[in-house]
Amino acid sequence: MKTVKVGFIPLIDAAIPIAAVECGFAEREGIQIELVRETSWANIRDKLIHDLFDASHMLAPLAVTTSLGLGNARVPLAVPFGLNANGNCITLSARLYRAMEEVLGHPPLDVRQSAQALKRVIDKRKASGEPPITFGVVFPFSVHAIIVRHWLRLGGIDPHNDVQFLVVPPPFMVANLSEGVIEGCCVGEPWNSRAVESGVGSIVVFGAEISRCAPDKVLALRDEMAAKEPEMVDRLLRAYRTAARWCQNRENHANLAHMLAQPQYINVAPKTVLNALSGMLAVNRTEGRSMPDFLRFEGDEINRPDPRKARWLYAEIANGLRQNLNTSQAEAAACVFRPDLFDTATGNNALPESQDPIGLKFGPAFDSNNLQGYIDALRG
């Protein structure tokens, strides 16, 4: 049986590759997946591009920047499968959250109000000469950074000039919040819940409140591997598809939570995993919130890699880097997402129904044929 070496970061959105192994879906497709746990996205990228991994769990924007050479390497990658939509939160330090409650006279009621309250706090701090607020994000190129920017704009905050961003690995997020190095962060679970449990922070935004299905993590391969080993890719994708359906099914969540919680995977309490799977989180010391779409693993809108999503990622990345859009790079980005591989493996012949592949809930509508218009509208 062919062995496929797959890298992953210990996060809940690594559920699909883990379930593909643990439930025997991979074996049923005639492949053996060897999962290798990693500590950083930089390791994941380097081991994938230098042939130490055959495939990997990866931040969707990192697959695009690596293919385009916008970061620290340039190797063409192929994304044949999306692993999840949403599952991240924006968490603010207890002190910053209190300051927002003060300007409002009550806790913020929704994401728009929280962003507006933050704007007033930022203006006050600017006036008194205090340093700007720093947000922790998990990687320079991540949907986390994009989510924070969208939320800030909702309150009229300029993400490029009014705040700062700092990369903080998830395991260090709570400590950095507590020490005041950062005052807010965007990260996946269990790290937001950890901040809430320890009284260090309050969750103010669920990623699913910003967009319906922005791509978060994906399955990435070297482009050259996708061409050379079509049989292996087919088998892997079929195993992932079965695993995605299994992971999405609520009846399996208790099992999935125990599976992911094991020491060799995420190494946390099963209850913590289960909370994220069910979308029921404590957002501060006294309140809980529930959102059924908090984290989704399955659906063609999520699993079938839509090139329009890659174009969106490219536009957001270029905007984040304050670079001008470049048509050939936008095309190259679109080619990273490979619905053809997904369709071949799964026998899919349906095209996506949705006009809008991202489903932003605020701000300018995204039109994949008019990236410049989208960016201009964002920059307002």
Partner 1 sequence: MTDQASILIIDENHVRAAIIQEGLREAGHVHVRWLNETANLLKHIVDIDPDIIVIDLESPNRDVLEQMFQVSRLVRRPIAMFVDQSDSASIRDAMLAGVSAYVVDGLKKERVKHILDMCVQRFQVFSRLEEELHEAKTALADRKVIERAKGILMTAKSLSEQDAYAMMRKAAMDQKRRLAEIARAIVMAEGMLK
To partner 1, the closest distance from the beta carbon of 315 in angstroms equals 17
Figure out which of the listed residues 61, 140, 155, 184 binds partner 1, where binding follows CB under 8 A: 140
To partner 1, the closest distance from the beta carbon of 120 in angstroms equals 27
91 sits in the region (left: phi over 0; alpha: psi -120 to 50; else beta) called beta
Instruction: Work out whether 72 is an interface residue with partner 1 (CB under 8 A).
Output: yes
To partner 1, the closest distance from the beta carbon of 264 in angstroms equals 16
Residue (28 or 50) nearer to partner 1, CB: 50
- By CB under 8 A, which span of 94-102, 174-182, 265-273, 339-347 interacts with partner 1? 174-182
Distance CA 329, CA 69 (A): 10
To partner 1, the closest distance from the beta carbon of 144 in angstroms equals 12
Figure out which of the listed residues 3, 32, 181, 231 binds partner 1, where binding follows CB under 8 A: 181
Figure out which of the listed residues 84, 116, 176, 275 binds partner 1, where binding follows CB under 8 A: 176
Site string (41-60) toward partner 1, x via CB under 8 A = xxx--xx-xxxx--------
Instruction: Work out whether 151 is an interface residue with partner 1 (CB under 8 A).
Output: no
To partner 1, the closest distance from the beta carbon of 45 in angstroms equals 9
Tell me the number of residues near partner 1 by CB under 8 A: 31
Q: Is the peptide bond before 215 cis (omega within 30 degrees of 0)?
A: no
To partner 1, the closest distance from the beta carbon of 10 in angstroms equals 10
Residue 289's DSSP bridge partners are: 281
- By CB under 8 A, which span of 68-76, 108-116, 251-259, 268-276 interacts with partner 1? 68-76
Residue 281's DSSP bridge partners are: 289
Residues 308-347 that bind partner 1 (CB under 8 A): 321
Instruction: Work out whether 40 is an interface residue with partner 1 (CB under 8 A).
Output: yes
To partner 1, the closest distance from the beta carbon of 156 in angstroms equals 24
Residue (5 or 120) nearer to partner 1, CB: 5
CA angle 65, 70, 73 (to 5 degrees): 80
Figure out which of the listed residues 74, 95, 126, 258 binds partner 1, where binding follows CB under 8 A: 74
Instruction: Work out whether 71 is an interface residue with partner 1 (CB under 8 A).
Output: yes
Distance CA 158, CA 154 (A): 10
To partner 1, the closest distance from the beta carbon of 87 in angstroms equals 19
Reading the block at residue 24, the tokens are 């025997």
Residues 218-277 that bind partner 1 (CB under 8 A): none
Mention every residue, 6+ apart, whose C-beta is less than 8 A from residue 321.
Answer: 70
How buried is 344 (Cβ within 10 angstroms: 0-12 exposed, 13-18 middle, 19+ buried)?
middle
The SS3 of residue 51 is coil
* Residue 219 identity (one-letter amino acid): L
To partner 1, the closest distance from the beta carbon of 365 in angstroms equals 28
Instruction: Work out whether 73 is an interface residue with partner 1 (CB under 8 A).
Output: yes
Distance CA 206, CA 211 (A): 10
Of 82, 150, 126, nearest in space to 300 by CA: 82
Residue (176 or 303) nearer to partner 1, CB: 176
Instruction: Work out whether 7 is an interface residue with partner 1 (CB under 8 A).
Output: no
Distances (CA, A) of 313 to 15, 143, 207, 317, 356: 23, 8, 16, 6, 14
DSSP readout, 146-166?
HHHHHHHHHTT--TTTTEEEE
Residue (11 or 244) nearer to partner 1, CB: 11
- Where do the DSSP E strands lie in the chain? 2-8, 31-37, 55-59, 77-82, 85-86, 88-93, 133-137, 163-167, 184-188, 201-206, 217-222, 280-282, 288-290, 295-296
Residues 153-172 that bind partner 1 (CB under 8 A): 166-172
To partner 1, the closest distance from the beta carbon of 171 in angstroms equals 6
Contact residues: partner 1, CB under 8 A: 39-43, 46-47, 49-52, 71-75, 138-140, 166-172, 175-176, 179, 181, 321
